[in-house]
Amino acid sequence: MFGLDDSGREELIPRFGLGKDPTPTIPCIGINIQAIDLNNQLVFYCWDIHDTSRRSRFWRGVKWFMVGYDVVVFVVDATDRDRLFEARDELGDLFSSIQVNHLWNTFLVPFLWHSIDDRLFSWPTILNSIHDDEVDDEPNTLQVLFEKYGHHIHHLSLTWLATLQAASAATTCTQLRSLLVFGLKDRDPPLLNQESDEANSNLHHHPNQQSSLGPLLSPMFDRVFRPLQEGWGNPIKQRQYWRMAQLYWILVHHSNKHLQNLHLEAAVGPLFRMVSKEYLFDSLALLKNLRSIDTGLVQMDFPVLLDRVPSLGTLRSRPNDPLTKEIVFSRTIHQQPFFQLKLLELRDRLYLQEFYLFLRYLPQLDDIIFAGFRMQTGLPPSPQDIMDNKPSQLQGLHLRQIGKQDDKIIPGVLQWLPYLKRFGTALLYPSIAKALRTHCPDLESFSDSGVADNGREQGGGVVVVIPPGAISSTNTLNYLLQHCSKLRTVRARRHTVMGSYAHNNNIKNIV
């Protein structure tokens, strides 16, 4: 409520609220705030601003922060004809301020909330100050913020349990395009109520039972979670994990119309190994626009996953448990190929048969990244039979580790990759260099030190000649530079190169 001094603002407040004639009052000094409830149907929060003029510091401060107000009242004393023109000027100034604030709400606020990463800026300080009782008993300030602005968030990165709690409870984060979980830490663990539960009194003797006895936050989680086979430590921590997992899947279900990218860091693995595979695949199948999964948490039954999520274009599977078999084929691979997957990254080594199966049933695969090939026992598989005697369209092959049989296995593999443009291996054997020259005429880049996040070699404009080391192979790399006419980018930290080859062969980037 605005108006010139002594224009009658103070008298209007009791008339609105009580329906009574106003009594004479002293003009407002500063800011007068009063809540008026009209028959439980409408509530006014009146801010009576003193000295509404361009010269007032109160007026200058308040008028530019009218964000979220529903009604602005400007009071004019019609009997004070001498100040009508002054009221007109102030009303025009007020209207300009309202327009600016509407633009703020329309454009700048959505921009500020477009991407939220609770690892950046002042987020850690804010989250570390949230007390446990605030999280459990009633909505805290963080939840109120998510309720108000959650529909603007498109990219959400989580490392704090409080952020996950607020985003899930708010139910407004329905426009997410990407949901990334890098870990869920708490300010002062344990988070949950430490009181003992009679139903779980035997937990110390059977620590794996807690995950099946925790409270359900939603009926959809009935019979979804199962106990783990490994000890989880104290009961409080198990209850915390139980709650985290449910909050995460509630958030996923809120955003299933638009969600395109899921990233689950291996550090939060215990939260998701308790979810049944049936529920996991059913939940992913609801994400019709899902394009990318980056997970280190679960075994991947590739036929089932690709069958349930046909829109998937990128799959990165990096479980941190070395005893967990990464690739699982629970049933025969469909005869129908999957055409959407473009990038596949695996932690483990592959048998040749597994590799050729991927090439056959993922015909549009552009890049595949894995540790290397496993040692073969017995006769190697026949690629002619597995691939129906058809070469692959694969453009990027990236092997992270050195294998004892690489010099024998990889040349045979390259025969089936005539369109290869990007190749990476820890050590370039002479037999591999010759095979690249013979079978891969379109080779554009070589790397012996890893790949970029998108599966492509990282570029650079600095020429660095590395002194020869224990595994350097100068002649091999020079051979590759000399005979692969389209090679333009080389990242070879384990090899040396003669500068004349780089100059004569027009190599653009050598690192």
What pLDDT, in 10s, does the model give residues 77-103? 888 888 888 888 888 888 887 777 777
The reply to whether the predicted model has a pTM over 0.85 is: no
Weakest-pLDDT range from 15-19, 220-224, 237-241, 478-482: 15-19
Higher pLDDT, 9 or 193: 9
Q: Does 157 score more than 50 pLDDT?
A: yes
Distance between CA atoms of 124 and 193, rounded to whole angstroms? 23
Average confidence (pLDDT) over 323-336 = 52
Contact at 8 Å (CB) between 357 and 306? no
Please count the helices (runs of H) and the strands (runs of E) in the chain: 18, 19
Q: Which CATH class is domain 2-112?
A: alpha beta
Asked if 445 and 422 touch (Cβ cutoff 8 Å), the reply is: yes
Structural tokens at position 9: 């603002």
The rounded distance, in Å, linking the Cα atoms of 482 and 24 is 97
Place 348 in a pLDDT band, splitting at 50, 70 and 90.
confident
Q: What is the 3-state secondary structure (H, E, C) of 307-344?
A: HHCCCCCEEEECCCCCCCCCEECCCCCCCCCCCCCCEE
Q: Is the pLDDT assigned to residue 451 strictly greater than 60?
A: no
Per-domain residue ranges of the chain: 2-112, 395-511
Q: H helices within 171-211, ranges in order? A: none
> Per-residue pLDDT averaged across 166-194, rounded?
75
Highest mean pLDDT among 26-30, 59-63, 459-463: 59-63
Q: How confident is the model over 32-42, as a mean pLDDT?
A: 72
Task: Work out the average pLDDT over 462-476.
Answer: 42
Task: Give residue 246's pLDDT.
Answer: 86
Distance (Å, whole) CA 420 – CA 442? 6
Average pLDDT over residues 465-484: 60
Query: Which is it for strands 261-264 and 300-301: parallel, antiparallel or unpaired?
Result: unpaired
287 or 131: whose pLDDT is higher? 287
Give CA separation, 122 vs 93, 160, 304, 496, in Å: 35, 13, 42, 46
pLDDT, residue 274, reads 67
Query: Does pLDDT of 288 surpass 80?
Result: yes
3-state class of 387 per DSSP?
coil
Band of residue 397 on the pLDDT scale cut at 50, 70, 90:
very high
Q: pLDDT by residue (tens digit) across 98-125?
A: 777 777 777 888 888 999 998 887 788 7
Total residue length of the chain: 511
| Cα 30 from chain centre | 46
3-state helix, strand, coil in the chain (%, to 5): 35, 15, 50
Place of tokens 């190749």: 423
pLDDT-based confidence at residue 468 (cuts at 50, 70, 90): very low
- Nearest Cα neighbor of 397 from 388, 385, 406 is 406
Is the pLDDT at 187 greater than 60, yes or no?
Answer: no
Whether the per-residue pLDDT at 325 is higher than 60: the answer is no
Dump pLDDT digits (tens) for 491-511: 877 666 655 555 555 555 555
In the structure encoding, which two tokens stand for residue 125, read together?
Answer: 């300080």
Integer Cα distance of 212 and 283 in angstroms: 20
* Residue keyed to tokens 């922060």: 65
> How much is the pLDDT for 152?
93
Strand 74-75 and strand 2-3: pairing? parallel
Most confident of 21-25, 299-303, 338-342: 338-342
pLDDT of residue 317: 80
Consecutive H or E run containing 364 = none
Phi-psi region of 223 (alpha: psi -120 to 50; beta: other; left: phi over 0): left
Residues 128-141: tens digit of each pLDDT:
766 544 444 445 77
Note the pLDDT of residue 497: 61
What is the arithmetic mean of pLDDT over 454-466? 37
Q: Which one is predicted more confidently, 380 or 123?
A: 123
pLDDT tens-digit map of 206-245 = 344 444 456 788 888 887 876 554 455 566 667 777 788 8
pLDDT confidence bin for 195, thresholds 50/70/90: very low
Identify any residues that bridge with 373 across adjacent strands, giving them in sequence order: 350
Rounded Cα–Cα distance for residues 408 and 318 (Å): 27
What mean pLDDT, rounded, does the chain reach?
74
- Structure-token pair, residue 166: 């607020």
Secondary structure of 31-87 in the HEC alphabet? EEEEEEEECCCEEEEEEEECCCCCCCHHHHHHHCCCCCCCCCCEECCCCCHHHHHHH
Q: Band of the pLDDT at 189, cuts 50, 70, 90?
A: very low
Task: Please compute the mean of the pLDDT values over residues 240-260 and round it to a whole number.
Answer: 85
The whole-number pLDDT of residue 322 equals: 46
**Among 176-180, 200-204, 380-384, 429-433, whose mean pLDDT is lowest?**
200-204
Residue 260: pLDDT above 90? yes
How far is residue 488's CA from residue 311's CA, in Å, rounded to a whole number? 33
pLDDT tens per residue across span 413-427:
999 999 999 999 888
Task: Name which of 91-95, 265-269, 310-314 the model is least confident about.
Answer: 265-269
- The residue whose two tokens read 């080389």 is 490
The token duo for 109 is 């606020």
How many Cβ atoms are within 10 Å of 349's Cβ, its own excluded?
A: 18
Nearest to 72 by CA among 36, 100, 48, 40: 48
Residue 177 pLDDT grade (very low, low, confident, very high; cuts 50, 70, 90): very high
